[in-house]
Amino acid sequence: MSETATMAKEILSVKDLNAWYGESHILHGITINVRQGEVVTLLGRNGAGKTTTLKSIMGIVKNRKGSVMFEGSELIGRTSNQIARQGIAFCPEERGIFASLNVEENLELPPVVRPGGMTVPDIYKLFPNLDERRKSQGTKLSGGEQQMLAIGRILRTGAPLLLLDEPTEGLAPVIVQQIGRIIRTLKEKGFTILLVEQNFHFASTVADRHYVIEHGEVVHSMNNDEIAANRDKLEHFLGI
Amino acid sequence: MFEIFGLSSTALFGQLLIGLINGAFYAMMSLGVAIIFGMLRIANFVHGAQYMLGAFCAWFLLNLPVLFPGSGLPEIGYWPSLIIAPIVVGVVGIVTEKLFISKVYDLEHAYGVLLTLGLALVIEGLFHVKFGSAGQPYGIPPSLQGGQNLGFMFLPNYRAWVIVASIVICFGTWYSIERTKLGAYLRAATENPVLVQAFGINVPRMLTLTYALGVGLAGLAGVMAAPIYQVSPQMGQSIIIVIFAVVVIGGMGSIFGSIVSGFMLGLIEGLTKVFYPQGSSTVIFVIMAIVLLAKPAGLFGKT
């Protein structure tokens, strides 16, 4: 799969992406690309600009310059709802489960943007816990269940590219393993995933390639099999 | 006829009926204010003027042949007005939101209050210049004239209709927000508009349509009020302050809270008129003060 992935065409190509929050200049020319069917991680410390990169691709950070090409069309200048309709789905770091909606309503909220997404029964098969709790209020779930709901609800939309922002944050090791299995399953199903992570041990179990981000720039990139050789460098960048 | 606490049953139930009618209007009006506040975070002080617009719209439609003699326009009565006036007022709401209200979303709350209060003064001022302060009469539709003698009181048909209709409208609105897919978008966008937009929903357009819905409810209440209260430019001024007290008591942005508090406070006001008439115009504000002290988020508000 990884050999074919390296051959596959680019689905997302970010060039010289700059972004601002108010007056502060956060991203200083990020350049990354993701090929169809790949899982790519953005590694880096807190505040390095990983989340801002995802939010700028998604159009949630509006003040941005440079180029974000998705399946050959430019996303800079479009609003986040238009970008979502193009076929990109976003799972935020804070999970964004709606308290006023039950599990089922949360799951069915994001509109279908393209045919061929997973069906609700498929999603319940992937996340059996959610099936049992479909009438519970979204925020009554445990942290792990909320994370599964946050991932599950974007699989229905048919978007081929998933942006996952720190899906393992604050979760128990056994749940982290479960999330890892889910990401590998999604890759097998053909999803392309851009993942933000601080935990490179976890990242190395799911990803094909990694970019290291520091002060709003890409400072290093490597294939997953090079991670052991680059261990010292990574520990330096991630401040471990 | 019989007596309760030394009062004739007709007097007591008569006041309770007036209370219930007022409560029906409080509920329909504060419902719109609550929906708008929940979604747009705007305290819509122009709601009273929009209610007045609804009543005037019905009056215009009924008087088309008189206002435009020789044009051959027909008289459009109460029942078509119940549909047409809320749509007209809703469209006015869409324009108002696009031109004015959308400009203050990112500013402090105070700007929204100043803007909507200013708009209310301008709209009511223009109508005052045109129509003076005397009210325009609007008759009860022929099909709802007369009433029922219930034995302990006389119930006019039109008032019975207003109570039933407002309960249906309030329940229907509550149901569509709390129990439908469209309502789920509204609830989700109230909580986290940024994320809902990132799922592919056009949130700015949703804000506009939510405003139109809230304002349309005010227009509908205005039509229903036309045969009971006079159609006058200041009819909205007298109700809007009470409406905000009701919304605060119910809990800002709580749909259910605004409906229940609307009916409840109408009844309390009616009862106060029976037992302590001097206090009837202040009782709602006394209750508001007590609720704010005991439960600052309101009776049904989330803390």
pLDDT digits (tens, 9 = 90+) for B72-114: 899 999 999 999 999 999 999 999 999 999 999 999 999 999 9
Rounded Cα distance between A79 and B202, Å, is 9
Q: How many distinct structural domains can be found in chain A?
A: 1
| Residue B11 predicted with pLDDT over 90 | no
A198–chain B Cβ distance below 8 A for any pair:
no
Q: Which of B184, B191, B202 is closest, CB to CB, to A81?
A: B202
Q: Does A178 map to a domain? A: no
Cβ contact A98–B181 (<8 Å) = no
Residue B1 maps to a domain? no
Residue A227's pLDDT is 85
**B97: burial class by Cβ within 10 Å (0-12, 13-18, 19+)?**
buried
- Smallest Cβ distance to B200: which of A101, A105, A113? A113
Relative orientation angle of helices B283-294 and B255-275, to the nearest 10 degrees: 130
CB distance B197–A109 less than 8 Å? no
Over its C-alpha atoms, chain B yields an Rg (Å, rounded) of 20
pLDDT, tens only, B40-76: 999 999 999 999 999 999 999 999 999 998 888 999 9
Q: With 70 as the cut, is the pLDDT of residue A240 above it? A: no
CATH of the domain at B50: 1.10.3470
Given B181, B192, B200, which is nearest A98 (Cβ)? B192
Contact B201 A59 (CB under 8 A): no
How many alpha carbons fall within 13 Å on the CB side of residue A35?
A: 14
Yes or no, beta carbons of B203 and A105 under 8 Å apart: no
Whether the predicted pLDDT of B4 surpasses 90: no
Average pLDDT, chain A: 93
Q: Which chain A residues contact residue B200 at CB under 8 A?
A: 81, 84-85, 110-111, 113, 157
Residue count of chain A, please give it: 240
Dihedral pair phi/psi, residue A17, rounded to 5°: -80, 120
How many other CB atoms sit within 10 Å of the CB of residue B228?
18
Please give the pLDDT value at position B12.
Answer: 86
Please list the helix, strand and coil fractions of chain B in percent, rounded to the nearest 5, in that order.
70, 5, 25
- Read off the pLDDT of residues A59-91 as tens digits, 9 standing for 90 and up: 999 999 999 999 999 999 999 999 999 999 999
Q: What is the mean pLDDT of chain B?
A: 94
ipTM value > 0.95: no
Q: Does A200 touch chain B (CB under 8 A)?
A: no
Mutation for B interface: A81, A94, A106, A135, most B CBs within 10 A: A81
Give the chain B residue whose CA is nearest to the CA of A86.
B200
Question: Does A93 contact chain B (CB < 8 Å)?
Answer: no
What's the CATH code of the domain at A7?
Answer: 3.40.50.300
Take residue B158 and report the two structure tokens written for it.
């039109």
Nearest CA in chain A to B200: A81
Cα–Cα distances in Å, from B37 out to B40, B96, B214? 5, 16, 10
Does residue A75 sit at the B interface (CB-CB below 8 Å)? no
pLDDT confidence tier of residue B2, bands split at 50, 70 and 90 = low
pLDDT tens readout for residues B190-229 = 999 999 999 999 999 999 999 999 999 999 999 999 999 9
Q: Would you list which residues of chain B are within 8 Å, Cβ to Cβ, of chain A?
A: 181, 184-185, 187-188, 190-192, 194-203
- Buried residues in B177-207 as b, exposed as e (16+ CB within 10 A): beeeeebbbbbbbbbbbebbbbbbbebbebb
State how far the alpha carbon of A152 is from the alpha carbons of A86, A106, A111, in Å. Answer: 19, 10, 13
Which residues constitute the domain of residue A39?
A: 1-87+192-240
**CB < 8 Å to B39, chain A:** none
Q: Which residues pair with B168 in a beta bridge?
A: none
Q: Using the beta-carbon criterion (under 8 Å), do B203 and A81 form an inter-chain contact?
A: yes
pLDDT digits (tens, 9 = 90+) for A135-177: 999 999 999 999 999 999 999 999 999 999 999 999 999 999 9
pLDDT digits (tens, 9 = 90+) for B183-201: 999 999 999 999 999 999 9
Is residue A60 less than 8 Å (CB to CB) from chain B? yes
Which residues on B lie below 8 Å from A90 (Cβ)?
A: 195, 198-199
CB contact under 8 A, B201 and A60: no
DSSP B201: -
The distance of B187 to chain A (nearest Cα, Å) reads: 6
The answer, yes or no, to whether residue B164 has pLDDT greater than 60, is yes
Poorest-pLDDT segment among A31-40, B10-19, B119-128: B10-19
Closest-CA distance of chain B to residue A45, Å: 24
Task: Mention every residue, 6+ apart, whose C-beta is less than 8 A from residue B71.
Answer: B64, B65
Helix B157-178 vs helix B9-40: crossing angle, to nearest 10: 30
- Of A81, A83, A89, Cβ closest to residue B201: A81
Phi and psi at B35, nearest 5°, equal: -65, -45
| pLDDT of A1 above 60 | no
Compute the CA torsion angle A137, A143, A147, A150 (nearest 10 deg).
30
Distances (CA, A) of B78 to B139, B223, B225: 9, 8, 11
In a domain, A236, yes or no: yes
Count of domains observed in chain B: 1
Q: CB-based contact (8 Å) between A73 and chain B?
A: no
pLDDT at B95: 98
Q: Is residue A50 part of a domain?
A: yes
Q: How far is A223 from chain B (nearest CA, A)?
A: 30
Which domain, by its residues, includes B113?
A: 7-294
**Has residue A2 got a pLDDT over 50?**
no
* Residue A201 included in any domain: yes
A5 pLDDT band, cuts 50/70/90, is: very low
Asked if residue B302 is part of any domain, the answer here is no
More confident residue, A239 or B102: B102
Cα distances from B77 to residues B25, B57, B219, in angstroms, run 21, 11, 16
DSSP state of B103: G
Q: Do B185 and A157 touch (CB under 8 A)?
A: no
- Which residue in B has a C-alpha nearest to residue A157's C-alpha? B199
How many Å lie between the alpha carbon of A7 and the closest alpha carbon of chain B?
30
